[in-house]
Amino acid sequence: MPRRALRTRSRKRKKVRTPGGRLAIHYFDERPGAPSCGLCGKPLHGIRVEKPSKTSKSERTVSRAYGGTVCASCLREALVDAAYNLWTVQETQKNES
């Protein structure tokens, strides 16, 4: 039986074949994957890969609108699109009047 601290389902297990042919179980803490962009799915830069409870707010985000959720290139594209749509609406309103 493993020692008391390892007897929990929050620890992941992995069966490892030792050089002597014995099957040993290795216990380890699960680590989260890198956070990714909500639009393109690429991993985000400047964000620490750790459980959210173990990191401060500044380590989980980037000081930008949608920082920590959307990557910089996707945000730029979206903002340019939004500005263009706004501009075209204004132009059509000018032409109508």
Nearer to Zn ion, 27 or 75 (CB): 75
Which token pair is 88? 């075209």
Nearer to Zn ion, 63 or 93 (CB): 63
Q: How far is the CB of 72 from Zn ion (least distance, A)?
A: 8
**What is the signed CA dihedral for 63, 65, 70, 74, rounded to 10 degrees?**
-120
Q: How far is the CB of 34 from Zn ion (least distance, A)?
A: 13
**Distance between CA 29 and CA 2 in Å, rounded?**
15
Name the one range near Zn ion by CB under 5 A: 8-16, 51-59, 69-77, 87-95: 69-77
Instruction: Give yes or no for residue 44 binding Zn ion (CB under 5 A).
Output: no
Instruction: Give yes or no for residue 74 binding Zn ion (CB under 5 A).
Output: yes
Tell me if 32 sits within 8 A of 50, measured CB to CB. Answer: yes
Q: In degrees rounded to 5, what are phi and psi of residue 30?
A: -70, 135
Which token pair is 35? 């956070």
Q: How far is the CB of 25 from Zn ion (least distance, A)?
A: 39
What is the binding site for Zn ion (CB under 5 A)? 37, 39-40, 71, 74
